[in-house]
Amino acid sequence: MGIFDIFKKEKSNSNSTTENGVLGPTFLEGNVEHISNPKKLHSHEWRRKLKSKTGETFFEIKYYGQLHSDYKNLIVETDFAPAKIIAIDTNDKSEYLLFDGCNHGYNAMFCDKYSDEQINNRITDKIYIDEEGNSKFELIISTYNGIDYEDEFRDEVDSNGEIELISEKKIDFEKVKRNGFDTLQIWAINENEIKLEIVSEELA
């Protein structure tokens, strides 16, 4: 699926929310809220706004990775390893994992094998600052779940309901279906209400 195919126009409902039955990543569960009247919500898209346990919706962002050479707003992988991105509650400084390219997405689970060095030596020591100098953002997260895991993998699920990943680690199949998304987008909205895309990853 191309990154631009997901923006096809769909009929909107003025009373709708992002509740469309699609389950999102398990690592964000309990830390997000619905968005009212979402624009162009795709049928297999999960979209939410990040909200901390303290109720905070503005976050700082720290990451391992680099900014894209042409699209300076985008956080991307390095030559060494995939990106890792964390949101920090501006009140109590608690941290929320947004994306780990060594573990999240279809390719990381079933195609691309990473060394212990790549997985463990990614220090999230860079702070994300936009071109206007802002470092606090509201965050909108979308995952796209176009892979039919039941059709492709149901015969590989063991009696415990687990499936073996390319890393040889076994994981609950239901968790795989939620964290093995094929596309990820994260949008940041600064305090001046300027919205910019900070993550755009095709992961399958």
| End-to-end alpha carbon distance in the chain | 9
Residues 6+ apart with CB under 8 A from 30: 53
Cα–Cα dist 61/123, whole Å: 13
- Cα 85 from chain centroid? 9
What residue type is 39 in one-letter code? K
Instruction: Give me the count of residues in the chain.
Output: 204
Let me know if residue 5 belongs to a domain: no
Query: Is 125 among the domain residues?
Result: yes
Q: Is 8 helix (H, G, I), strand (E, B) or coil?
A: coil
- Mean pLDDT in residue range 94-116: 97
Q: In whole angstroms, how far apart are CA 68 and each of 15, 40, 190, 197?
A: 37, 26, 20, 12
6: pLDDT strictly greater than 80 = no
Whether the CB-CB separation of 89 and 52 falls below 8 Å is answered with: yes
pLDDT at 135: 97
Percent of the chain residues past pLDDT 90, beyond the cut: 92
Q: Is the pLDDT of residue 169 over 90?
A: yes
Which two tokens mark 168? 């040889």
Predicted structure pTM score:
0.90
Q: Is the pLDDT of residue 16 over 90?
A: no
Q: Which tops the pLDDT comparison, 52 or 16?
A: 52
Evaluate whether residue 42 is within a structural domain: yes
DSSP assignment, residue 14?
T
Does residue 2 belong to any structural domain of this protein? no
Residue 84: give the domain boundaries: 16-202
Pairwise CA distance, residues 125 & 61, whole Å: 10
Beta strands in the chain (DSSP E): 32-33, 45-50, 59-64, 66-67, 75-76, 84-89, 95-100, 126-127, 137-144, 162-164, 170-172, 183-190, 195-202
Query: Quick check: 3 pLDDT over 70?
Result: no
In a domain, 57, yes or no: yes
What does the pLDDT look like over 63-98, one tens digit per residue?
999 999 999 999 999 999 999 999 999 999 999 999
How many separate domains does the chain show? 1
Kindly write down the DSSP assignment for every residue of 16-55, as one continuous string.
Answer: --S-SS----GGGTTSEE--SS-SS--TTEEEEEE--TTS
| Four-CA torsion 121, 123, 124, 130, nearest 10 degrees | -110
Task: Provide the pLDDT confidence category of residue 15 given band limits of 50, 70 and 90.
Answer: low
Does residue 3 belong to any structural domain of this protein? no
What does residue 45 show for φ and ψ, rounded to 5 degrees? -105, 135
Q: Is 11 part of a structural domain of the chain?
A: no
Residues 6+ apart with CB under 8 A from 115: none
Asked whether residue 117 is domain-assigned, the answer is: yes
Residue 14's pLDDT is: 52
